[in-house]
Structure 1
């Protein structure tokens, strides 16, 4: 279980909630299959088939949000509605108006929903009540917000807030590039995006970032919006101006530790999650420090 993206939220440190309490509350909101007239259904699913809704290892919790969606393209609804409108026009000798056409489309949508294919997707989340983290593995902000919104609905209380740091990631990344020096424990890699005040963008992929060209862009007013970095030769990622970590890659040294310790699938799953959560918690501590620390709570 290795996350690929991190949308970060702060919890109280420590957050005094037990695994049993979390699981009992999630159970009330388990995923139910889409009914005949449902376009979508959302709820919690087991992180492993046949397992509980909450997977816990060393007070670290893994959970998965399942979303079932009916696949009913607008073009298909329109085709059936147009056919129905022509039948009415031929039978009654009149033209179907706009309001009636909207009603026909809605009628066709409801008729077609029971016959639509169902697609399921899963969004993963990690709760670290010891160090006060909630992280969602989602490539898009909307999916992360969907996860957190469902978690708020499911739990009696979720004291989660977006992570706030003293120094903005954009300012920090721009400073590191201008100085040619990464913060302690990190190295700067070879992917970068810069943006001007006029929204012009320059992207570098697998390109050395130490040259004068980068500094000239910065001197001209461009700021960094994405920067590839590696932490302690163990995890590489892309830091964004919105304080998201994308394209996480747990380097071979870290994965080898799991492979050497177990060949059993269940034990391996637990080891992978324990290694990932432990390493990411340490990475986040160092990253927050590199960004000047957290903004004091109001």
Structure 2
């Protein structure tokens, strides 16, 4: 029910902190949100505590993406902290409890968490502090994190997750209509269609191909037909945004483009990227004759063989 200036969001990006020279990319992402009004979804894997990120977001909506730890007390603590800090929703990622096969990361030895990077939400957490003991060295911190990361969630965990907070609960990584229906049956407030930017399962389907079926399942649900459907993966232009909206997405989350802007130009760079996407989206709808968001339907699209 929140009003926003455009149908865009900033998708959660783990290790975002590392893309800026000062290593505070998560805070700067929230500052971009404050400058544009585009909601920011902060990742569990931040370089700054979630409270500091929340303080930088101004009046823009802010969601917290949860990589659910194996330790339930730690999971509850992260969610509680997000709620107290003023986050507006919890986004539970379902498709990355274990990383996919990523040859580029393997070839470069790129796994910053093993160097203690992007673990600020853990090292600032009282439950995690109890797990590591007082004054842990880097190795203890990293191995404690390794031991709790990667919880293979099942439907049986959903009631417990729902019990942790009164905030809206969104499931991220839903790509099948049956999963969308069951999630809504179990009390989820929103569905997030995503294939994790295509980084998890090589050869998997494009998220936009799954979007219409998921939207149809949500809109036909007897009790939660108005649930929002967030979409990301592969969005690079305003034309991509318009296509996703025409296929029924409530809002479209941007990942790599704003990260590139943040890396190259800091807050002004990422702000420029988002405003450019907003402008292109507006102009495409205008020149194609769709003055309002509600006028845009799948009839606007023609499949090219």
TM-score w.r.t. length of structure 2: 0.25
Give the number of the structure whose residues are more often strand, by fraction.
Answer: 1
Give the number of the structure whose residues are more often helix, by fraction.
Answer: 2
TM-score w.r.t. length of structure 1: 0.25
